[in-house]
Amino acid sequence: MFSQYALDHAWLIPLLPAAACMIIGVFLRRLPVLAATAAIGMSLLSFILAAGVAAGMFAQGITIEQPLVYKIPWLTLPGLAVDMGVYLDPLSVMMLVVVTLVALVVQLYSVGYMHGDEGFGRFFSYISLFAAAMLGLVIAVNFLQLFVFWELVGLCSYLLIGYYFHKISAREAAKKAFMTTRVGDFGLLIGILLLQFLFGTLDFQALPVQIPAYLVQHGSGLLTVVALLLFVGPIGKSGQFPLHVWLPDAMEGPTPVSALIHAATMVVAGVYLVARAFFLFSALPEAMAVIAWVGAFTACFAASIALTQRDIKRILAYSTISQLGYMMLALGVGSLTASMFHLLTHAFFKALLFLAAGAVLHGLPGKNDIFEMGGLRRKMPATFAAMVIGVLAISGIPPFAGFFSKDEILLAVFAVSKPLYAVAMVTAFMTTFYMARLLFVVFCGPEKSGQQAHEAPLSMKIPMAILGLLAIVGGYIPYTAGFGDWVRFGPAAHLAFDWKIAGSSTLLALAAIGLAWLIYGSGCNTAAVLARRSGLAYQLSYHKYYLDEAYLWLNHTLVDGFGKLLSWLELHVVEGILKGLAGLVGQLGNGLRKAQSGNLRVYGLVMFGAAMLMLLWLLFDPLLKGLLAGGGY
C-alpha cells in the first residue's frame, strides 16, 4: 500500500527538497529550466508522500494520543541523549500537507514570476532548502531538532529577503529580519536549555509525562518562566508585538517568497511551536493569558496599521501579522483546534492574496503604491477574481474558507473572555475594511496607470486558480470532515456553530465592505478628506505608531552608547591583556622553535634525557610517596 510506504518513509519528505537544493546548488545554477524542474519535481514527490502520510494517518487511526514516531540517536553523551526523527500525528501531518502543497504551488508560480531573472537557479535552490527546513521543523521529535530547523528556516528567510542583494533596502531588510528574530530565538534557546536542565529530556513524548508530576511537586512558578521564554521565540518568528517590525520589511524579497515564507509557512512556525508544546503551555494559566493578550493586541494593532498603508505588499504583511495574532489568541484561550484550522485556511487565502498581489506587481512593474494603480479590473480579470476570492475569504464571508475558521476562533474566545472577544471583533471589522480598501483602490475606479498593464501568464494563473479553489472549499470541507476530531488537544473538539456569532461577524464584515466602498470605491473623493480629518490617528497608523523610529532611537542611544563603552574597554583593557597573553604564547613558541636546530645529536640528547627523567620519576615517585606516607618501600 502506498500509504504504508509513505508512513514508513516520511523522513523522505524533507529530504527530497534538500536533495533538490544540493543538486541545483552544485550542478544546475546556470540551467534555469532544469533547476525549476528539479525543485518542482522534488516538491511534487514530497507532496505526494505527504498526502500518502495523511491517507495512512486516516487509515491507521493515528491520533494526537497515539502518534507514529520513529527516531535514531543523533548524539549520545553521558547525561545527554539527542534523537532525530519523525513525529507523525494529525497536527504535524496537517502541516506537512499544507507546507508541501503551498510550496509546490508557489514554486509553479515562481516559474512565471521569476522568468528571466539572473538568479533563477539560486532562487529555486534557496526555496527548496527552505521547504526542507520547514518540513524538518514540522516533523521534529524534540525541541532541539525543532530548534535546529527553526534556525535553518530563519537562514533561508534571510537569504530570500535579501535575494535582490544589489538593492540596499533588501539587504537592510534581510539583516533586520535576521537580527529581530534572533532576539526571539535567544529566548527560545534559553527556554529549551532550561527544559533540558529541569527534565533531562527534550522529547515531545517524554515531556508531557513528566510535567504534571513536576507541577505537583514544585508548583508552576519556574515552569511559567520557561514557557514564557519559549514563547519569546514565536514572538520573533511569528511577528507578534513587539518583534513584528521585521515582517513588513521582509516584503523586499520576491513576492513568491512573501507568499510561501512570510505568509503561509515560516511565520506560522511560531504558532506551530506553541501548538506542539501545548502540553506545557496549557498547564500554565498565566502563560496562556500572556499568549492570548499578546495575540489579541498584535491582531488589533497590526490591523490598525494596515488601514492606512499604501504599499500593496505591506498591507498584506500587516494583515499577516494581524492574522498570526488571531491564531495566537486562539491558542491562548485554549483552542488548539481553532488556531490550527485558521492556520490551514490562512495559508490558502493569504498565499492566494500574495500571489494575486504578485501578479499585479508583475503586470505593473515598478509600482507598489495602491493609489497609483486603480482600474485594473478590466486589464487583469483573472487576478481580479483571485483577489476577490482572497478578500472574501479573509473577511469571513460564508462560504469561503476564512468564515469557518474565524468563526471557530471567535466562538472559542467568546467562551473564555468577553474583552478579548470585543478586541477580536474590532480586528475582524478592520481586517475586512482594509482588504476591501485594497481591492477597490487597485481594481475599481478609473485606470490611473498610463502604462500597459498586462495579465499574468498561464504559469501564474494556474497556481492562483488552485489556491483560489482551496480558499473557497478549504474551510467547508475540513469543517464537515471532522477537523476537530483529529487536530485537537484533549478531548475531541467538535466544531460548533453558533448562529449569533456567525451572523454578527458576517454582518460586521458586510458593513466593513460597505464602508470601504463608500470611502474608496464609490468614486467620490472621500478618502483624502477622511485622511485629513482624522489627523493624528491617521498619522500614527500610517507611521506604524513610530515603532521603527523608537527602535532606531533605542539602538542609537542605548545600544550604541553601551557599544562605545564596551569598545573603550575592549581597546584599553581587554586588548592589553590579550596582547600580553598572545605575546607570551608567541615568545614561548619562538623559544621552543629555536631548540629545533636540525641537529641530530641534540634530538637524540633530548630524547634520551627525557627518557631518563621519566624513568627517574616512575622509579622514585612511589618511593617518595611511600616515604611521605611514613611507610617503607
Partner 1 sequence: MNLALLSSEIAIVVLAVLLICFDLFMPHRETRRSLGIVAACGVLAVLVHSFTQYGTVGTVYGDYFVVDHLALFFKQVFLTATLLTILFSFGYVEKFTQNKGEFYALLLFALLGMMIMASAHDLLTVFIGLEIMAVVFYVLVGFDLENIKSSEAGIKYLILGSASSAVLLYGISWIYGFTGSLLFKEVAANMAATPAILMGLGLIVAGFCFKLSIVPFHMWAPDVYEGAPTPITALLAMGSKAAAFAVLLRVFLVAFAGLKLYWAPVLSVLAALSMIVGIVVAIWQSGIKRMLAYSSVAQAGYILSGLLAANAAGVKGMLFYIVLYMVATVGAFAVVVAVEEHSGSDAIAAFSGLAQKSPLLALVMTISLISMAGIPPLAGFAGKLYLFIAIAAQGYLWLVVIGFVMSMISVYYYILVVKAMYTHPVQDDRVLTVNGPLKLVAMVSLLATLFIGIYPEPLAELANAAARALW
Instruction: Select from 1, 72, 209, 537 the one that contacts partner 1 (CB under 8 A).
Output: 72
- In the beta sheet, which residues pair with residue 430? none
Beta carbon of residue 72, minimum distance to partner 1 (angstroms, whole number): 7
- Residue 590 sits in the site that holds partner 1 (CB under 8 A): yes
| Closer of 458 and 610 to partner 1 (Cβ) | 610
Q: Is 1 in the site for partner 1 (CB under 8 A)?
A: no
Q: Are 82 and 135 in contact (CB under 8 A)?
A: no
574 binds partner 1 (CB under 8 A): no
Least distance in angstroms from the C-beta of 602 to partner 1: 8
Tell which positions 320-359 bind partner 1, by CB under 8 A.
none
578 binds partner 1 (CB under 8 A): no
Residue 618 binds partner 1, judged by CB under 8 A: yes
Of the candidates 61, 78, 631, 632, which one interacts with partner 1 according to CB under 8 A? 78
Nearer to partner 1, 212 or 583 (CB): 583
Only segment of 98-106, 197-205, 482-490, 609-617 that touches partner 1 (CB under 8 A): 609-617
* Rounded (to 5) percent helix, strand, coil in the chain: 75, 5, 20
Q: Could you say whether residue 592 binds partner 1 (CB under 8 A)?
A: yes
Please list, residue by residue across 84-96, b when 16 or more beta carbons sit within 10 angstroms of its beta carbon and e when fewer do: bbbbbbbbbbbbb
DSSP state, residue 519: I
Using CB under 8 A as the binding rule, whether residue 610 contacts partner 1 is answered as: yes
585 sits near partner 1 (criterion: CB under 8 A)? yes
Q: Which of 41, 73, 490, 523 binds partner 1 (CB under 8 A)?
A: 73
Which member of 74, 476, 517, 538 binds partner 1 (CB under 8 A)? Answer: 74
**Residue that is written with C-alpha cell 460586521 in the block:** 508
Half-sphere exposure of 24 (CA within 13 A, CB side): 28
The answer to whether 209 contacts partner 1 (rule: CB under 8 A) is no
User: Three-state DSSP class for 381?
Assistant: helix
CA–CA distance, 483 with 343 (Å, rounded to integer): 13
By rule CB under 8 A, what count of residues binds partner 1? 35
Helix (H, G, I), strand (E, B) or coil at 521: helix
- CA 297 to chain CA mean position, Å: 19
Of 458 and 613, which has the nearer Cβ to partner 1? 613
Where do the DSSP E strands lie in 476-569? none
Sole binder of partner 1 in the list 59, 524, 571, 611 (CB under 8 A):
611
- The amino acid that residue 457 corresponds to is P
DSSP code per residue over 19-76? HHHHHHHHT-TT-HHHHHHHHHHHHHHHHHHHHHHHHHHHHHT--SSS-EEEEEEEEE
Position 573 contacts partner 1 (CB under 8 A):
no
* Dihedral class, residue 311 (left if φ above 0, else alpha if ψ from -120 to 50, else beta): beta
Of the residues 77, 528, 577, 629, which one makes contact with partner 1 according to CB under 8 A? 77
What residue spans of 333-489 are helical by DSSP H?
336-363, 381-395, 401-416, 418-443, 458-473, 476-480, 483-486
Residue 607 binds partner 1, judged by CB under 8 A: yes
**Interface residues toward partner 1, by CB under 8 A:** 72-78, 84, 585-586, 588-590, 592-593, 595-596, 598, 600, 602-604, 606-611, 614-615, 617-619, 621-622
